[in-house]
């Protein structure tokens, strides 16, 4: 399957409540990407589509080594089994593909030594500081939303329920 005329969708790498994430390939730039696709059951839900759009907008404002980068977003026109458009669309977000492991998987393996735990906490706090400076509150920081890269770096992801700071102030 090809999204946006350039993103080849390959195997699934993660599932969430609102979306599935696939490993993909950007045919134009020749790089691996992660493609987050809103679940078909939510694609007609206006609120879900808006939350998904807000996530892409929020993360695209941030450029920092501890935050997963967003490269592109769009809506793919859905087609039937013969390739004819059905009139519906599927929203997607194209992001940096991070090689590594979820912090939740690492925690389930056993105890993390103190130095590693402090390094992970520092990376997460840096990501949250960057998001707050961009006016975004993550609202779902947890081990399943943190990747530890193969070189030991920290990447915070899944800003799906993020809110603009201005929206949270009464």
Residue 55 token pair: 């996530």
Task: Using only the alpha carbons of the chain, give its radius of gyration.
Answer: 17
Contact 62, 50 (CB under 8 A): no
Marked catalytic residue, from 32, 105, 122, 140: 140
Cα–Cα distance, 25 to 163 (Å, whole number):
30
Give the DSSP letter of residue 35. E
**72 carries an active-site annotation:** no
Element (H, E) at 100: strand 100-102
Cα–Cα distance, 129 to 48 (Å, whole number):
26
State phi, psi for 32 to the nearest 5 degrees. Answer: -75, 145
User: Of the candidates 146, 150, 147, 130, which has an alpha carbon nearest to the alpha carbon of residue 64?
Assistant: 130
- The alpha carbon of residue 152 and the mean position of all alpha carbons in its chain are separated, in whole angstroms, by 19
Residues taking part in catalysis: 140
């Amino acid at each position: 399957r090809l999204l946006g005329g350039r993103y080849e969708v390959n195997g699934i790498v993660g599932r969430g409540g609102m979306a599935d994430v696939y490993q993909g390939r950007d045919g134009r730039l020749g790089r691996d990407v992660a493609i987050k696709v809103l679940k078909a059951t939510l694609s007609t839900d206006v609120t879900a589509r808006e939350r998904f759009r807000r996530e892409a907008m929020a993360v695209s404002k941030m450029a920092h080594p501890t935050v997963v980068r967003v490269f592109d977003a769009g809506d793919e026109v859905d087609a039937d089994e013969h390739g004819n458009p059905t009139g519906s669309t599927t929203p997607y977000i194209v992001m940096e593909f991070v090689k590594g492991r979820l912090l939740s998987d690492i925690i389930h393996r056993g105890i993390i030594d103190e130095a590693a735990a402090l390094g992970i906490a520092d990376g997460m706090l840096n990501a949250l500081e960057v998001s707050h400076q961009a006016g975004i509150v993550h609202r779902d920081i947890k081990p399943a939303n943190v990747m530890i890269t193969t070189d030991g770096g920290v990447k915070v992801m899944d800003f799906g329920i993020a809110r603009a700071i201005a929206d949270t102030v009464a």
